[in-house]
Amino acid sequence: MTLKQALTRAREILVANSIEDAPLECELLLRHILKISRVQLYLGLDQELSPEQEETSWRLIERRLSHEPTAYITEHREFYGLDFYVDSSVLIPRPETELLVEKAINLGQKHTVFTIADVGTGCGAIAITLALNLPRAKIYATDISALALKAAQINCQKHGVTNRICLLQGDMLGPLPEPVDLIIANLPYVRESELPPICSVNLEPPLALNGGSDGLEKIRQLCRQLSSKLRPKGCLLLEIGQGQRGTVTAFLCSLFPSAKIEVTPDLSGIERVVSLTLTAVNAGGFEAAKPFRLVFQQ
């Protein structure tokens, strides 16, 4: 069987089973087997697959038909033009999260000294992308999962930023040894009722998806910790889901009445990134509505 025949047959099977982006998925799986680039794939369409390669190809197609994500099968995911190792212990980076990174890079480029905390780092895609684009930044990356931090460590080594990023295990902002200038977070924001049924191979880590009854449990937890971990005039960048803008911004306003809050839509028009910037009033120790008292440490 030639590469062209294998691509055509695999695409037909995935389409028949309602797998989205079937042509791209087939390419990724076949390139993974052959360890070649997209250009090499299409220049060699008449090349014959060996019996072993053909067998491996159908085995991977079967895994994809069981709804195991292609990124887990290949252990690779592209994010912000970079290649990251991923496995079933981490959330697969999404294109919409690149907006979060773009805003963080724009902020960081305006400062000579900049300290960042990436909360719930997962495979480390956000922290590593920031480290590569903001070479003067000091970056902490936290995650409650030891397995996720192991994947992040692999990616730090892969991209040569091991000495630039401090990986810390723990919940939310708890592990941070000092307040920072920017807190960036892509936390779970899926409602518990909307999670897919548990399956041994087709589900990303529930810890990285489950946002509680309304999807905002983890986001609220993080926001309540900001006062002691965000420096005066510091900034929070937070990814949210569709329809969550009103609730999130109202909650932030209740904690930080004088803060500047902006919401940025993604390319699909979904209000995706909430930005909060503390003002001089906040930095001066303004007391918000009870039971939260804003106390900033320098």
What is the pLDDT at residue 202? 54
Per-residue burial over 103-128, b = 16 or more CB atoms within 10 Å of its CB, e = otherwise: bbbebbeeeeebbbbbbbbbbbbbbb
Q: How far apart are CA 171 and CA 221, in angstroms?
A: 10
Examine the domain organization and report whether 88 and 10 are in the same domain.
no
Q: What are 239's strand-pairing partners? A: 273
Within-domain flag for 51? yes
What pLDDT score does 78 carry? 95
Structural domain span for residue 35? 3-65
Does the reported pTM lie above 0.85?
Answer: yes
Q: Which pLDDT score is estimated for 292?
A: 27
CA 169 from chain centre, in angstroms, equals 17
Are residues 24 and 153 located together in one domain of the fold?
no
Number of domains in the chain: 2
pLDDT at 112: 75
Q: 28: exposed, middle or buried (C-beta count within 10 Å: 0-12, 13-18, 19+)?
A: buried
pLDDT, averaged in runs of 10, over the chain (298 residues):
94 93 93 94 94 94 92 96 96 95 94 90 98 96 96 98 96 96 92 66 72 86 94 94 93 94 93 91 42 28
pLDDT at residue 201, rounded to an integer: 47
CATH of the domain at 112: 3.40.50.150
